[in-house]
Amino acid sequence: MITDVQYGDKGTKITITVLHGTEIVDISSSLEKYIYLKPKNGTTITKTASLETDGTDGKMYIITDEDDFASAGEMSIQGRVVFVNGDWRTTIKTITINKNL
């Protein structure tokens, strides 16, 4: 997982590992995967995630667009995985979007 980026960056890879406590969750059979980005004073952006490998490692990722880091400051990131028998979210993490000159 990244910890900070620059305002306006695009093409940044954000990877989330889905855990249940400290155990990795096998997400290979998930029906849907999302990563949510929420600037401190903004609207939540929903991105469809892809598996990093085969999903048994619990890792999913997105590649950001130029509008995803549209303001400097803190941003919350959370993953969501949907299975036939349930719908789970990850712990919220915070990154910093740094200003440019």
Is the pLDDT assigned to residue 99 strictly greater than 90?
A: yes
The answer, yes or no, to whether residue 14 has pLDDT greater than 90, is: yes
Query: Which tens digits make up the pLDDT trace of 47-90?
Result: 999 999 999 999 999 999 988 999 899 999 999 999 999 999 99
Could you tell me which of 20, 37, 36 has the C-alpha nearest to residue 83? 20
Write out the residue range of the structural domain in which residue 56 sits: 4-98
**34 closest CA partner among 16, 11, 19, 22:** 16
How many domains does the structure of the chain reveal? 1
pLDDT at residue 1 greater than cutoff 90: no
CATH of the domain at 78: 2.60.40.1220
